[in-house]
Amino acid sequence: MDEKQRKRMIYEVIKENDPEKRDKKYNAYVEQVTPKHNPWINILWAFLVGGAICTLGQVLITLYQNLGASKEDAALYVTLTLIFLSALTTGLNLYQKLTKIAGAGSVVPITGFANSVAASAIEYKKEGQVFGIGCKIFTIAGPVILYGILTSWGLGVIYWIVKLLGLV
């Protein structure tokens, strides 16, 4: 459907006075413009890309250990490397293209989190350092941080109570 047809359909929906007919026209419009996806292909791409990111992490751990880092230090270096690569590819507009193909597979925790922070910073940089980047950088990541802390606190309290009762 080209832009002219889409505008004509929207106009038809807007000018309709009968709510029932308007709803039917709107639903028909939504059905036409909604992209169709094959869930099995999406699952396959998510598995392949998510697996590739995790495999890259494992390759980097092995590389850093072969360069003389301890297992703990290698894991830290991998975390920093994956965050850097995610922020870099976000800035180059490559991560978004990967996400269109991979879907949830590109949201492997550390890279997806870094992408959400970097994307917010890039989006709001035009509003300035303080009111743009400073205020909006955690727009997407903020709820993840909040609920992650809240959940870990709640589980810690439950663990503490269970330990006091001698069940653990």
Give per-residue pLDDT as tens, 55-85: 999 999 999 999 999 999 999 999 999 999 9
45 CB neighbour count, 10 Å cutoff: 18
Q: DSSP assignment, residue 36?
A: P
What percent of the chain shows pLDDT beyond 70? 99
User: Is the Cα dihedral 111, 117, 118, 123 positive or negative?
Assistant: positive
pLDDT in tens, 92-102: 999 999 998 88
0.75 exceeded by pTM = no
Per-residue pLDDT at 1: 65
CA-to-CA distance for 24 and 66, rounded, in angstroms? 64
